[in-house]
């Protein structure tokens, strides 16, 4: 992990980048890593990093944009526990994730220790067919991966969106899957639900 972080810093330094961003790598079975891309913005998954580091990354980005210096050094950042995120979209998993616009007459958001929901929707809410279908990000944190998975299972069971199709049932399948729970996943993992053959 240290070599990957050092490589990310070198990539940002080489282009003179001075703000929040993400450098992504692919890792193979031998733990060799390969550059994938650099995003000069926050990723939609940034809450995962916020929960395991305790750092408000959005606040840090705003301070940098205002011309302030980053007050954190790499040695100030400590990882604590596990975090997982599900993107809850207005999409029908049983129909190749086709968009599912319409009115949400009733909504129940999950809550409790270690559960975070970043969303813009409310009761009632109209999902437009003209924009990206992201409704919410459901993020959980726990001390270890096993508890984090259990916490996500509970949060998904509590999350209710009436009136439209959403990706909640799909995420429930993933978080009940024995291979996923064991951590036996690769880039072909989702094909068991999405491959028509």
Positions marked catalytic: 41
User: Is the separation of the CB atoms in 84 and 52 below 8 Å?
Assistant: no
Which residues, in sequence order, are CB contacts of 98 under 8 Å at separation 6+? Answer: 91, 92
H or E element at residue 190: none
Nearest-5° Cα angle at 59, 71 to 152: 115
Task: Return the sign of the alpha-carbon dihedral for residues 113, 114, 119, 124.
Answer: negative
- Which residues, in sequence order, are bridge partners of residue 117? 138
Pairing of strands 91-92, 115-119: unpaired
User: Is the separation of the CB atoms in 88 and 147 below 8 Å?
Assistant: no
Q: Is 25 exposed, middle or buried (0-12, 13-18, 19+ CB in 10 A)?
A: middle
């Amino acid at each position: 992990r240290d070599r990957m972080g050092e490589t990310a810093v070198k990539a940002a330094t080489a282009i003179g980048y001075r703000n929040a961003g993400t450098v992504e790598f692919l890792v193979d079975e031998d733990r060799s890593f390969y550059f994938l891309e650099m995003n000069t913005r926050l990723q939609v998954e940034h809450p995962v990093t916020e929960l395991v580091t305790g750092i408000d990354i959005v606040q840090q980005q705003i301070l940098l944009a205002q011309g302030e210096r980053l007050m954190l050094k790499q040695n100030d950042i400590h990882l604590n526990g596990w975090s997982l995120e599900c993107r809850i979209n207005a999409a029908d998993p049983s129909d190749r994730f086709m968009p599912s616009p319409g009115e949400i007459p009733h909504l129940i958001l999950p809550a409790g220790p270690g559960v975070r929901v970043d969303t813009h929707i409310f009761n009632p809410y109209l999902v437009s067919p003209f924009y990206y279908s992201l409704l919410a990000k459901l993020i959980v944190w726990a001390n270890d991966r096993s508890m984090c998975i259990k916490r996500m299972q509970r949060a998904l069971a509590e999350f209710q969106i009436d009136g439209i199709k959403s990706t909640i049932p799909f995420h429930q399948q993933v978080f009940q899957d024995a291979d996923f729970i064991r951590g036996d996943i690769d880039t072909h993992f989702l094909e068991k639900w999405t491959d028509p053959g």
